[in-house]
Amino acid sequence: MLNFAKLGSEFSTKVQTQPLDQPFLIHKNTQLYADLGLVLTDSELLKITSGEEKFEQIEPIASIYAGHQFGHFNPQLGDGRSCLIAQIESNAPGSKRGYQELSLKGAGPTPYSRQADGRAVLRSSIREYLCSAAMQGLNISTTQALSLVGSSTEVYRENLETAAIVMRVAPTHIRFGHFELFASRGQIVQVKKLADFVIEQHFPELQGAKVYENFFLEVVKRTAVMIASWQAQGFAHGVMNTDNMSILGLTMDYGPFGFLETYDTSFVCNHSDHEGRYAFDQQPSIGLWNLTRLADALSSLIDTKQAKAILQTYEQQLIKSYSMLMRQKFGLTQQHEGDHQLINQFLELLRIHKKDYTNSLRGLADLEKLSADDNFSSWLVLYDQRLAEEKIEHRVELMNSVNPKFILRNYLAEEAIREAEDQKRYDKISTLFNLLSSPFEAHLGFESYTQKAPKWAQGLSVSCSS
């Protein structure tokens, strides 16, 4: 039985998965498969990941939660197209006890589907599968994806499409919204029960009179570190609703995400976000806003004054983590007073001259090549002076270990999707998965995957529809 299911029927509901028609395994994350210690054949894995068979006769469940969506509270949400199907002990990173939950996304309706079909379409499943690998490769805390299953099952969104299922893996899929649900109903016994469960399962080292304060402090810290990593690597989530915020500080629920290509801090990756609430440069403040909503939900456990004091550590932790990452990206191992200004001057040049964020930072390791660009000549004089103070022997190696060569550019994902949908070919998914899983490696011969978006792809937009 799943540990989360032991909390009772107020927290989750048993569900029956609905298998896909003519399912087939498009891709499997072999490293994660090995980490989980699974010993299934591909045929057995397909039956489980397509929803045809249960994992070790475990009853799947869908959990209930609430959430603030684009700033407005929705009193009841829940796992509308996903369900937990297993919980296993493994060697996979991310959980002190080695527990990992297996979740199917797209395996049919649940009591929380709100008249929807509970399915996920192939295009969004490909994007989620690849981005999970990309974030893991970038060393950003994330849920992972074990498998991608396609089918002949037809579903209708804007057009007729085929359904797919992604198996997601994480120590827990609990969100801020789980706490918000019970707090909004005045069910403080359930809030405490849920908090105790999370602490016991994932923070067992937390003990004593301040256990809830220390738990919240840990969530604040993990969230700050996660968002600092997003900002440093140019990742925009797109839908930072509180029901998409992991209690463990994991990036989760990949919908209309995007990576910065041409450097633009006001980048909005979700074409439904008309007001730019979740623009790239708004993510740090939204993280704090969401944590404040979690603090509200925990008010029966944590004194308001204490909660405010804990929330005040967020900005400090985010700046500390972001500054450390950015110094590393510029090959700086020591902290100097002028580093912030030096880095911001470089980023301003990227903005003015519409340079590619990832390629420009990766190119910093090759100063001779960069010096050929007149746009950076004055800045390079300052950068050379700063590097002279470092006396670092392995600057290039350090920089290439934090500045990726490969990111999941929107047009690359679109090419993989079109190839899969139109030609029933999945080679590009496999290639992208390999490149994104080790994005700091040179991967000679794949330079075409680092190029800017071609003209046909420069206007691509992504919606929440999946």
pLDDT, tens digit (0-9, with 9 covering 90-100), for 115-135: 899 999 999 999 999 999 999
pLDDT for residue 277 is more than 50: yes
* 35-55 pLDDT tens trace: 999 999 999 999 999 999 999
Q: What is the pLDDT of residues 147-180, one digit of tens each?
A: 999 999 999 988 999 999 999 999 999 999 999 9
Which band of pLDDT confidence, cut at 50, 70 and 90, is reported for residue 461?
confident
HSE value, Cβ hemisphere, 13 Å, CA-based, for 72: 2
pLDDT number for residue 457: 84
Q: Which helix (H) or strand (E) holds 61?
A: strand 61-63
Angle, CA of 260, 264 and 265, to the nearest 5°:
95
Mean pLDDT across 230-243: 98
Let me know the angle formed at the C-alpha of 106 by 101 and 112, rounded to the nearest 5 degrees: 85
CA distance 398 to 129: 28
Q: Where are the alpha helices (DSSP H) in 152-280?
A: 176-184, 188-202, 211-233
pLDDT at 96: 46
Annotate 337-369 with b (16+ C-beta within 10 A) or e (fewer). Answer: eebeebbeebbebbeeeebbbbbbbbbbbebee
C-alpha–C-alpha distance, residues 71 and 53, integer Å: 39
Confidence of residue 91 (pLDDT cuts 50, 70, 90): low
CA distance 177 to 171: 17
**Contact indicator for 417, 426 with CB cutoff of 8 Å:** no
Alpha-carbon distance of 168 to 323, in angstroms, equals 31
What per-residue confidence (pLDDT) applies to 74? 97
Q: Is 325 exposed, middle or buried (0-12, 13-18, 19+ CB in 10 A)?
A: middle
For residue 164, list its beta bridge partners.
Answer: 120
Q: How confident is the model at residue 466 (pLDDT cuts 50, 70, 90)?
A: low
**Helix and strand totals (H; E) in the chain:** 16, 13
Q: Are 255 and 271 in contact (CB under 8 A)?
A: no
Q: What is the Cα–Cα distance from 84 to 302, expressed in whole angstroms?
A: 30
Q: Is the pLDDT of residue 437 over 60?
A: yes
Mean pLDDT over residues 231-248, rounded?
98
Give percent above pLDDT 70 in the chain: 97
- Residue among 254, 260, 5 at smallest CA distance from 132: 254
Q: Are 464 and 255 in contact (CB under 8 A)?
A: yes
- Rounded to whole angstroms, the Cα distance separating 227 from 100 reads 23
pLDDT (tens digit, 9 = 90+) per residue, 322-339?
999 999 999 999 999 999
Contact 141, 92 (CB under 8 A): no
Give the active site residues.
Answer: 243
Cα-based distances in Å from 379 to 41, 206, 344, 365: 56, 47, 11, 15
Counting Cβ atoms within 10 Å, is residue 278 exposed (0-12), middle (13-18) or buried (19+)?
A: buried
pLDDT at 20 over 90: yes
Q: pTM for this structure?
A: 0.96
Q: What is the C-alpha separation between 201 and 3, in angstroms, rounded?
A: 9
As a whole number of angstroms, the longest Cα–Cα distance in the chain is: 66
Q: Of all helices (H) and strands (E), which one includes residue 463?
A: none
Q: 271 is written with which tokens?
A: 């074409």
- Kindly tell me if the per-residue pLDDT of 78 is higher than 50: yes
Residue 201's pLDDT is what?
Answer: 94
Give the pLDDT mean for 352-368.
Answer: 94
Write down the H helix ranges in 60-187. Answer: 122-137, 176-184
Tell me the average pLDDT of the chain.
95
